[in-house]
Amino acid sequence: MRSIATLAIATLVMGVSARGAVTFDRIAREGDTPPGRSGVGFVRLFGIPSINDGGVVVFRGNSQASGGSNSAAGLYVQRPGEALDVLVDTTQTSGVPTFAVPGQPAGTNFGSFKDPIVTNSGDVLFFAGWAGPGGGGEGFYATTTTGGAMVKIVDTTDAVPGFPASLFKGFSFSGIDRLMISANDAGEVVFFGRFDRTGFPFESGGLYGTSVAGGTPVRLVDNTGTMLPVDQAVPFQEVKDEAAINGAGFVVFEGGIASTPSASRFRGIFAVPVAGTSLPKTVAIKGGAAPGTVLTFADLWARADVNDAGTVVFRHKFGSSPTALNGLYAGTVTGGPLSRVVDTTFAVPGKTGVLFADIQSASINASGEMGFLALDADPIANNGGMHATSVANGPPTLLINTFDDPPPGRVAPAVLQSFQPLFDGPPINDDGNIALAGAGADGSATLFGLYFYSGCDGSFSRIADDLTASADLSGTFGTSGDRRFAIHTGVNTRRGHLRSLNNGNDVAFFVSFSNFAGGIYVAHVAAGGGGTATITCPADAVLECPEQTTVASNGTATAADGCTGASIPVTSSDVSAAGCGVTETITRTWSADDGSGGSITCDQTISVNDTIAPTITCPADVTMACDSPVDPGTTGSATAGDACDAAAMVAHADVVTAGSCADAYVITRTWTATDACGNAASCDQTITVIDIVAPTVSCPVDVTVACDSPADPGTTGSATADDVCDAAPAVSHADATTPGACDDEFVITRTWTATDACGNAASCNQAITVTDDDGPVLTVDTSPVTIVDVNCSGDEPVSLPPATAVDDCDDDVTITSDAPAALDAGETTTVTITASDDCGNDTSDSLDVAVKYGAKLRVRVHEMRFSIGHHPVVTLVPIVGAEVVVFNRHAHEFCGHHLGWWHGWHWWRHLFDDCEESPVVNQGVTGANGIVEMDVPPGHYLVVARLDLDDNGEFDHFIGHPARNVTCGETEDVRLRLLVTPRGKKLAAKCWHFTGSDLLVAEPDMMIWDEPEQEYPFGFEAVGDWGVNVSVAPPEGFVADHENLGTEVDDEVAAVQFTVTEVGSDLVPTQTAMAITHNGRRYDIRSKVGIRLTPDYALSRGFDVNQLRRQGLIHEKSERDKPSDGKEARTRVRQR
């Protein structure tokens, strides 16, 4: 497109009529019959028509019969090449409306309309008032240029978004014929609605988004003080009723924000998405920096417009003074930087030294171009002109001045004095062409005209005026009445699709003649292409490789100037998108200079294809042994050729057909040659495979196995076989058996045979020798067997546990034993049991058989713990772990002359230490109760316990007692006691046993003097027949605290206890005297008491320790504790 700002004023063609380049269509004229009616005609009350890029015209018109009856209003459409059609009207038939009001009860009728909107998509939107059974109201509605279904967009019965308790009050203002709805070609709609809120004295209003399909509107912005711009801190208190919408769905409007309704407002221009996806954003606002000046924006804004690129143009005045700075400014819907388009500091084109004085609003096209009316500071009152400019380019271009220049087609003194869009810019299309209507004077006559500015060549021409109306429009202007040409003003052209000029340079207009007659017309202006150079590419080409892709082979683009049609040089550049192989898709971009510093381009697509398959030749058919390779390296490969692909891919796929056996078959090898584009050709090769060679077989080694071992191949091994073709030839075996030396020994001859899948076979033999070298498994309980000699005969018959034997090879095993017929009592005999199999293999096991004597000794070993006092409390405490030995009654005869019959602890110890040959009858260890039981033959015995009281591995006390008249089948109780004095001294006891009352008397058998004072206790135990009186005197020669102590033994245990303080000076063994009375019978008993002194105590008494040691009266610790360990003593006890 040629830029408006680059056209010099000198290019304007003034006074030259362009009537020859204009044709006219009469759409409707006063008196014409409206479609759908008869007997009536249009009257002069026409609205101003709108036209879209498809040339479709819509307009509002009234009709009535002669005399004014049967009047109706309607909206009409003229589609190119078709008859005039009605979209909607107010007519009724028998009270039934011809057109029902969407969303209202039946019988509701349309009553009035405003000028309709038509979009390039064919949508028609209009305002209408209605009345019906439910009352009256108004609303916005949509249909299509083809008369499609009518849709309600919104009406006064709908709730207000954001205020569901309020209904819309209206969509127009009384006395103002302004349409408050706008739409884009995508069917998006913005409208202004008024409403009342309960409790608020002022009417509210806002902008709402929806679509031509109807549905619930979206709240975009209102003046209720509840919505804030996204980039401001106070809410909207004011929203103007005019809004513009672009193809991207952005709505531009004028509004004011303030903290409260009565606070000072900051007015500005704002943008918001029609879908309501975000809050409004500021384009420009009071207080913001104004571009091109040091001033900041004030409050005086006027009609903003927006194009599809999002560029916003608006008028602003910096004060109310007539001379205040004002101008046109541009911003963006995203709140981008502002720029100055033109203001009153600019010079007026063609007038030296004259500045603009007042600049009015403008509409903007897709390229940012616009036309505007401006007054200037020329001394002539109200002098001014119509100008064109651009957001992106320099100073304005003059279309025509008032009062200065004659209009096109006229000569001086004819001048234009005013323009029909007085405060709004003229309509402008995307080529930068402008239409405007004006009025003036030609001498004394009035002048009316409709004019066209070409953005291409800068020419300003006449479409029609009062001189040409008769010839072109069949009407004449007189000297009075409503005479004018009327088109929609520029701002409304964009904002509401109220378009008087489309992109095809068609101008839809209303004309009113002198006789008050008028009509609707369309002027078709043959204007240039708006400066847009054109370029035409050669046809796209589809080639088969290897055809040429050169320009010479595929054509050259042509380009022409948009205004002159002259040829423009072209250049080309290629971008190739590789395809398969050598194929490609070439995008050849042709370019030419557009005359405005840019370029125009078009693309030619050249496709290079490869659709021809390669040629292929197969290798010859062959026959192969099954062990030979059958890969192409052996059997041959196919060869291929291709016109485009020098290396076509050759591959093969095999199909195997089974033969008479697994390793004999036929391969059909299909060779396929495929080029880089997938074109393929195939051929077949036949490969016959045969198998006539037997396998090789290897036997496992000969083996010897036990008769109880398995002789299957899993144990003795399996043959292995190899075959040149069969990876797993079948291996089988057959056995032949030869007997051996006994039943469980023999030889197996195992013949192994390998057979391949085609029946070829080979064999070998393996020898397996089976032997029996293992004895049977004998099962017998070898736990020791104990037999009691219950009748004390001295020997007992043998009774052995049952024995069983199992042999892995022999089912009939022989079991024998070496046990004698009878065993000696008191002896343990080892008996051997033997199992033998048929091959002479033996297995033996043994067990001990012990014969116990027929009598028992129950030995009780306890401490007698004495409390303090002459009649102390005695506690019996078991001695655990005491070693108890039963000696033959004649044991002392084996000890030599030094051992007498006195049974003291020294005497008992010597039985262990000095009587090496003394016969031991039995021995044991006391349990937790201090008791041990041992079997013995009938007779007389000596029972001795030795104690390790310090738990240091050394025996320090020996206690003994004879056991007489032990009889067969009876258990004799023997009590052995260790006396523990209140001071904790432990004394081996000498015990007397009286069977008449089963009374046990325990007293110390040796006094060890180690301190001047100590206790001398006597303990008495009675079992069964109680009622015993005991009287006891202390040992002779001792100084005691009592001469005699007595007690009644009428419980299990009783005791007396002397305190002795002097051992005496003669140091000879002494004795005690006891008198025991039971059942009236008295027993007088005297017992000998041994005396010894510790070395320390002897020294304290002034004795000669060495002399006393020689006399055996010194108690040495080593002597008492000898031997040093229990093991030595135990080994001296000979056992039978």
CA distances from 1116 to 332, 507, 980, 1122 (A): 126, 152, 20, 10
Domain covering 615-690, topology: Immunoglobulin-like (2.60.40)
The token pair at 56 is 């479709």
pLDDT in tens, 1099-1118: 888 888 898 888 878 887 64
pLDDT at 1025: 64
DSSP annotation of 10 reads: G
Domain covering 534-609, topology: Immunoglobulin-like (2.60.40)
Distance CA 1053, CA 1020 (A): 6
Give the CATH H-level superfamily of domain 696-771.
Answer: Immunoglobulins (2.60.40.10)
pLDDT at 158: 97
b/e code 1054-1075 from CB counts within 10 Å (16+ = b):
bbbbbbbeebeeebebbebebe
pLDDT at 596: 66
pLDDT in tens, 521-578: 999 998 755 556 789 999 999 999 988 999 999 999 999 877 767 888 999 999 999 9
Give the CATH H-level superfamily of domain 777-852.
Answer: Immunoglobulins (2.60.40.10)
Sign of CA dihedral 485, 489, 494, 498: negative
DSSP annotation of 19 reads: G
DSSP string, 60-123: EEEEE-TTS-S-EEEEEEE-TTS--EEEEE--EETTEESSBPTTS-TT-EEEEE-PPEE-TTSE
534-609 and 615-690 agree in CATH topology: yes
pLDDT in tens, 591-602: 998 766 788 999
Q: Is domain 855-1126 annotated with CATH 3.20.20.70?
A: no
Nearest to 1061 by CA among 1112, 1118, 1016: 1016
User: What is the pTM for the complete model shown?
Assistant: 0.54
Q: Would you list the domain boundaries of the chain?
A: 11-525, 534-609, 615-690, 696-771, 777-852, 855-1126
Nearest to 51 by CA among 502, 519, 527: 502
pLDDT in tens, 701-744: 999 998 888 989 999 999 999 988 888 999 999 999 999 888 88
**Does residue 643 have a pLDDT over 60?**
yes
Q: Assign 330 to helix, strand or coil.
A: strand
Average pLDDT rounded to a whole number, residues 309-325: 92
Distance CA 547, CA 596 (A): 39
Say what percent of the chain tops pLDDT 70.
Answer: 90
Q: Is domain 11-525 annotated with CATH 2.130.10.120?
A: yes
pLDDT in tens, 434-460: 999 999 999 989 999 999 998 888 889
Q: ω before 413 within 30° of 0 (cis)?
A: yes
Instruction: Report the range of poorest mean pLDDT among 10-14, 398-402, 685-689.
Output: 10-14
Instruction: Report the range of poorest mean pLDDT among 138-142, 663-667, 826-830, 991-995.
Output: 991-995
Of the pLDDT bands very low, low, confident and very high (cuts 50, 70, 90), residue 18 is very low
Residues near 248 by beta carbon (within 8 Å), at least 6 away in sequence: 308, 310, 333
Of the pLDDT bands very low, low, confident and very high (cuts 50, 70, 90), residue 1068 is low
